[in-house]
Structures are given as C-alpha cells and as structure tokens.
Amino acid sequence: MQMTMRWYGSKHDTVTLEEIRQVPGVTGVITTLYDTKPGEMWSRERIHALEQEVEAAGLSVAGIESVNVSDEIKYAGPGRDILIDRYIETLANLGKEGIHLVCYNFMPIFDWTRTELARRRKDGSTVLAYTQEAVDALDPEKLFDAVSAGSNGTVMPGWEPDRLAHIRELFEAYKGIGEEQLFASLKYFLEKIMPVCNEYDIRMAIHPDDPAWSVFGLPRIVTCKKNILRIMRMVDDPHNGVTFCSGSLGTDPDNDLPDMIRSLKGRIHFAHVRNLHFHSRGNFEEAAHLSGDGSFDMYEIVKALYDTGFDGPIRPDHGRMIWGETGMPGYGLYDRALGCAYINGLWEAIGKCETRGIDEIPVWEPKFSD
Ligand SMILES: [Mn+2]
C-alpha cells in the first residue's frame, strides 16, 4: 500500500503540502482540481501544473478524488452522452499525465450526509455526526444551508454551492428514478469509459454511498456487498473497481467490512480507513481511528486489506478537530496524521505477525455504546 493524505489544493486547503510531507510514511496526496465543476473537461496543462506543485514538495499525486460525475449522467438525461465524452477526455488527459487512479461516486444530488459538523465528544474534540431522526425531520434545502454555515468558511467537498443551487430542479429530474435505473445508468457510464481506462490503465474506484442507504427519497446503490459485487460483475473489467471506505460502508452495521474486503479482492483500488462510534443503528459520530475509540475493529479491516494483497493508495479519512485546529470539518491535519501513524503501525505489525506465522480469523461484531 501507499500511505497518502487527501489534499484540496493550495487555494482551498488549510493544510500545506509541506505539513503533509512531514507525516511519517506519507509519500503521496489524493487531490483534485477543486474549482472544476462536474461536466467540465480537465486540461492537460492544469493537471500537469497540479502534479508539478505536488512533486516540488517531495510528494506524488497518487490519485484523483474526485472527478465528479454529473447528475445528468446519473438520471440518464438527454445530455449524458456529451457529458460522458467530456469525462472520457478528462480521463485521457489524466492518463497522459501519468495518473492512474480516479475515485468518483454515483450518489444522486448529495454527496456524503451528516447532520452535525462539530459534535463535541467527551475528550473535547469535535466530530461530524449523523442522526436519522434529524435527517427525517429535515428539508434537504435546509440541510444544505446548515452545511454551508458550519463549514468554517471552507467549501465542503460534494456540497459546492454552484452544484446545489438548483436543488428543486434536481429533485424533479430524479422523479421516477429508482435503484434499477441508477444501476443501468452506472453500467452505461462504465461501459462507455472502460476503453479509455484500458488504454491508459486508469483504475476507476467508485466510492460507497454515505450513509449507505437512501436519504431524502433518492435512490442509492453503492451500499452493500450484494450491490457492489453486482456493479463489479455487470462491467467485469479490473479497471472497474472500488474505493473501500470503512466509514461509509460501516454506517450500516450489517456490512461485515473485513468480509467485504475479502470478497472484493483485486477490485479495491483505493482505501479510506476510519472509525465510527455508534450509539444505535442510524445514530453515530465519527471517532479517532483507534479501534478503542469507536465501534470497528480496525485491526481486522487493515488485516483484510493486507491479506488480499491490497497495493493501492490508502488514506486516513475524516479526522476529529483537536488541539485547537480550525479548518474544513473532517479535514484538519492533526487527527488525520494520527490516523496515518496508527494505520502504518497496524500494517507493520500485521506484516511482521504474518512472517512469524501468527494468524486467526475472528467474527465481525460492531459495538454499540454511549
Ligand atoms: Mn470515504
């Protein structure tokens, strides 16, 4: 695996490349052209300039998160072919510049959804949190306002104002679109882009839906083992792969995360590793990466990645805000750096245990507590 951190670019991120370079074991960043809109073609010049900036700091661009997919491709609108052609051109330009990993998601309208951006935990840190009751009581337009107001002046990924300015029209466009249509749209998209992915060896890594169930009556399909295996089989090309995000798939306690990793062997191209602390089903907050701070057994998650020969980029995911840091919720430096150190420690220990012949496969049991 290659240890990485997400970086939004010097104009948008509160964390610098120089700081990231000092996190032990981190050799690359996962980045994006944050000011591009879905449907906009990325030029080789801009991709090249981004790479040069990253490389000047002693790091590599390990992959792109994300090249966003336009809603019109998802709801199969009349303009989808033009948008897919532009997406293909962007992929070709990335390939020509030596970038071979692209993370994307297929969630209608909204990206990841949380109902609180700064819930205070017992240790004084603040974290992103989710309660189903709060979502059920919300008008989606108000949720957007709340996210905008609580993001410390930064723009939250997936919640870009331009994209969400026309929420009502978007909801209208998705009327009558159910899960089967969304599967069909994804298949159509993947079949169109696979030739360019093969030509330039670009591994597409679909990010799971977060939370892993339908919100606001919109369909969601990247939610469970059955659906993800269906997506892998319906376009059975190794370039059609997955971003394994423990924090997203783990929102549903029925998802056995180590088992999912094992069944997706060879198709996980990118890993997001983080922990959640559950109070009950549909009611959770993000936690430190450490197993003991949340509900997941992080050793088992990392071990499943190790055992299946995972060799792509891995990154810590949303961190807590600690030590007085301010910035984009979930994307401060300090707690994500602790996450890197912890995952690196697990990886080293698992590797050493393996060479010494220590092995056991226990049972997946997420913990619920107050
Ligand atoms: Mn993720």
User: Which residue out of 103, 197, 224, 245 is catalytically annotated?
Assistant: 245
Residue 347 is predicted with a pLDDT of 96
Residue 143 is predicted with a pLDDT of 64
Distance 356 CA to ligand 1 centre (A): 33
Q: Could you tell me which of 287, 345, 296, 295 has the C-alpha nearest to residue 317? A: 287
Residue 113 is predicted with a pLDDT of 83
Distance 78 CA to ligand 1 centre (A): 30
Residue 366 lies in a domain: no
Active site residue 245: yes
Residue 288 lies in a domain: yes
Residue 150 is predicted with a pLDDT of 64
Distance 145 CA to ligand 1 centre (A): 22
User: Which residue out of 272, 289, 293, 297 is catalytically annotated?
Assistant: 272
Active site residue 75: no
Q: Please give the average pLDDT of every successive group of 10 residues along the chain, which has 370 residues.
A: 96 95 97 92 97 97 96 96 98 98 95 87 94 82 66 60 73 93 98 98 97 91 98 98 97 97 98 95 94 96 97 95 92 96 96 78 72
Distance 272 CA to ligand 1 centre (A): 5
CATH of the domain at 226: 3.20.20.150
| Whole-number Å distance between alpha carbons of 286 and 125 | 11
Residue 369 lies in a domain: no
What residue type is 186 in one-letter code? L
Distance 137 CA to ligand 1 centre (A): 25
User: Which residue out of 87, 297, 318, 335 is catalytically annotated?
Assistant: 318
Judge contact between 72 and 80, C-beta under 8 A.
yes
Residue 362 lies in a domain: no
Distance 276 CA to ligand 1 centre (A): 12
User: Which residue out of 71, 130, 200, 207 is catalytically annotated?
Assistant: 207
Domain of 349 in residue numbering reads as: 2-355
* Cα dist from 280 to 130, 158, 208, 217, whole Å: 11, 26, 21, 22
Distance 47 CA to ligand 1 centre (A): 23
Active site residue 279: no
Residue 160 is predicted with a pLDDT of 66
Secondary structure (3-state) at 110: coil
Residue 367 lies in a domain: no
What residue type is 342 in one-letter code? Y
Report pTM. Answer: 0.91
Residue 264 lies in a domain: yes
> Is-cis flag, bond preceding 125, omega within 30?
no
Residue 360 lies in a domain: no
Q: What order of strands is seen across the sheet that includes strand 283-286?
A: 116-120, 126-131, 283-286, 276-280
Distance 303 CA to ligand 1 centre (A): 18
Active site residue 104: no
| Whole-number Å distance between alpha carbons of 112 and 319 | 15
Distance 208 CA to ligand 1 centre (A): 7
Both tokens assigned to 79: 């303009």
Residue 79 lies in a domain: yes
| Whole-number Å distance between alpha carbons of 213 and 39 | 26
User: Which residue out of 331, 334, 340, 342 is catalytically annotated?
Assistant: 331
Residue 112 is predicted with a pLDDT of 80
User: Which residue out of 317, 334, 335, 342 is catalytically annotated?
Assistant: 317
Domain count, the chain: 1
